Amino acid sequence: ADIQPRGVVVAATGGSGAVGGLFDAVTRQHSAVPVQTCRSTPLPGWVGAYDLVIAVSQSGRAAGTLALAAEAARRGANLLTVGAADSPLADVCARAHGTHVPIDAAGAGSRTSLWAQATPVLMAADALGLASIGRPTVDALADVLDEQARSLGPRVESWENPAKALAAEVSESIPILLGCGPLGETAARRATAMFGRTGRVPVAYGFLPDAASQIVACFDGPLAGGEDGDQGSSDIFADPFLDGRVRRPLRLIMLRDASEDGGGYSAVSDAVIAAAEDAGVRVSLIDATSADPLLRLAHHVAHTDFAATYLALGLGYDPGDSRHVRILQDARPR
């Protein structure tokens, strides 16, 4: 890299927002340069000519990202942009004498093209010395995604497809999703966004070790075992019209680090699972075994992306289109 920035800001909004969390997570351990993510205006006040702003928008037209990139250019910051060629974002970058990485936006939305947007940003992190992500890692990342597509794809029958099983479990419960560490937080936040935006089901999330107490406390609450507070005591003769609908039970979904050292979170992860089982809360475990944290994150993201899509289809919704999202988009200023 030709520059050594004082600080880095990743500006990415909407469906591209996960790219910022990913960059922050992979650089956190080894980077001596502060990194901040921005999902909305304003740009942090400290950003200036000695800093780097990475702006990401699949279409190159996201209003929030454009505003952040334009403000970075006005302040004289170094600018790296990722998005469609010949887009407003590319134009902002050209006028600021920055570097634009074009990606093909045809026929793809920002939610479904996470890795197309993230790969140039990860390569930038490596070039700047903020993380170690060489070509072998990128190749291994592609292999993980290919393997997940083979094992979780639509041709795989439900009884052999963990993503279809997870979709069914989410549809029948009040899900709460828990990741492990910084990369687990990124995966959990991404999964929550996908279950909501694609699957149409709200999901709460947290990450270990920070959220352990607040998650476990929910196991004592009224949602833990459904209407009766005990999953095993449902009345099979209950009439939903006379007695009211039975409340769906809480379900814990663990995006677990199953590598050899467990990422340092094995003990607290096991304790949370034990508490769930003690409370009668059902647990769905999604284990990623790779020694590389980025590959574990890719495993978790692919698994939950597929599950969110199957959830929408199973509930009778179009995963790619929401009438109310279109209403929201039409109401926004152009």
Residue 180, domain CATH: 3.40.50.10490
Residue 275 and residue 236 share a domain: yes
Answer yes or no: do 127 and 190 share one domain.
no
Asked if the structure places residue 3 within a domain, the reply is no
What is the average per-residue pLDDT within 201-215? 93
Q: What are phi and psi of 28, to 5 degrees?
A: -65, -40
Burial (CB < 10 A; 0-12, 13-18, 19+), residue 123, is: middle
Average pLDDT over residues 70-95: 96
- For residues 83 and 206, membership in a common domain is answered with no
Asked if residue 232 has pLDDT above 70, the reply is no
Are 27 and 100 in a shared domain? yes
Q: What is the pLDDT of residue 92?
A: 97
Does residue 325 lie within any of the structural domains? no
Question: Does one domain contain both 297 and 165?
Answer: yes
Instruction: Over range 156-168, report the average pLDDT.
Output: 96
pLDDT at position 112: 83
pLDDT in the model for residue 306: 97
109 neighbors 15 (Cβ within 8 angstroms): yes
Residue 75 pLDDT > 60, yes or no?
yes
Confidence of residue 332 (pLDDT cuts 50, 70, 90): confident
Q: Number of folded domains in the chain?
A: 2
Task: Return the SS3 of 187.
Answer: helix
Task: Point out the domain boundary residue: 133, 149, 166.
Answer: 133
Q: Cα dist. 59→70, 93, 196, 320 in Å?
A: 16, 14, 22, 16
Statement: residue 333 has pLDDT above 90: no
3-state secondary structure of 157: coil
Residue 231's pLDDT is what?
44
Band of pLDDT at residue 235, cut at 50, 70 and 90: low
The answer on 196 and 75 residing in a single domain is no
Residue with tokens 């439900």, as numbered in its chain:
158
Do 22 and 79 fall within a single domain?
A: yes
Residue 230 has pLDDT above 60, yes or no: no
Q: Indicate if the pLDDT at residue 272 is higher than 90.
A: yes
Cα(159)–Cα(141) distance, integer angstroms: 26
**CA gap 9, 52 in Å, rounded:** 6
Number of C-beta neighbours around residue 196 at 10 A: 13
Q: What is the pLDDT of residue 85?
A: 93
| Domain ranges, residue 84 | 8-133
Cis peptide before 42 (omega within 30 of 0): yes
Whether residue 237 has pLDDT greater than 70 = no
* Tens digits of residue pLDDT in 175-201: 999 999 888 999 999 999 999 999 999
Does residue 164 sit in the same domain as residue 127? no
Give the pLDDT of residue 233: 47
Residues 209 and 308 both lie in one domain: yes
pTM of the full structure:
0.89
Residue 216 reports pLDDT greater than 60:
yes
Q: Is the pLDDT of residue 66 over 70?
A: yes
Answer whether residue 29 is part of any domain: yes
* Residues whose CB is less than 8 angstroms from the CB of residue 257 and which lie 6 or more positions away in sequence, other chains included: 180, 181, 184, 263, 265, 266, 269, 288, 293, 296
Respond yes or no on whether the N-terminal peptide bond of residue 120 is cis (omega within 30° of 0).
no
- Domain membership of residue 152 (yes or no) is no
Residue showing tokens 């991404």: 190
Evaluate whether residue 1 is within a structural domain.
no
Question: Any idea which of 24-38, 85-99, 158-172, 272-286 has the lowest mean pLDDT?
Answer: 24-38
Residue 244: which pLDDT band, with cuts at 50, 70 and 90? low
Per-residue pLDDT for 229 more than 50?
no
Determine the Cα–Cα distance for residues 261 and 282; give it in Å rounded to an integer. 25
Is residue 200 a part of any domain in this protein? yes
Q: Are 149 and 45 in contact (CB under 8 A)?
A: no
Q: Are 28 and 186 in contact (CB under 8 A)?
A: no
Residues 51 and 175 in one domain: no
Phi-psi region of 282 (alpha: psi -120 to 50; beta: other; left: phi over 0): beta
Q: Can you tell me the mean pLDDT for 144-164?
A: 96
What pLDDT is stored for residue 334 in this prediction?
Answer: 61
pLDDT > 90 in the chain, percent: 72
Residues 14 and 111 both lie in one domain:
yes
Higher pLDDT, 280 or 242: 280
212 found inside a domain: yes
Shared domain for 176 and 275, answered yes or no, is yes
Averaged over 16-37, what is the pLDDT? 90
Helix (H) or strand (E) holding 64: helix 63-74
Distance CA 319, CA 189 (A): 18
For residue 320, being part of any structural domain is answered with no
C-alpha 26/C-alpha 251 separation (Å) is 29
Q: Return mean pLDDT, the chain.
A: 90
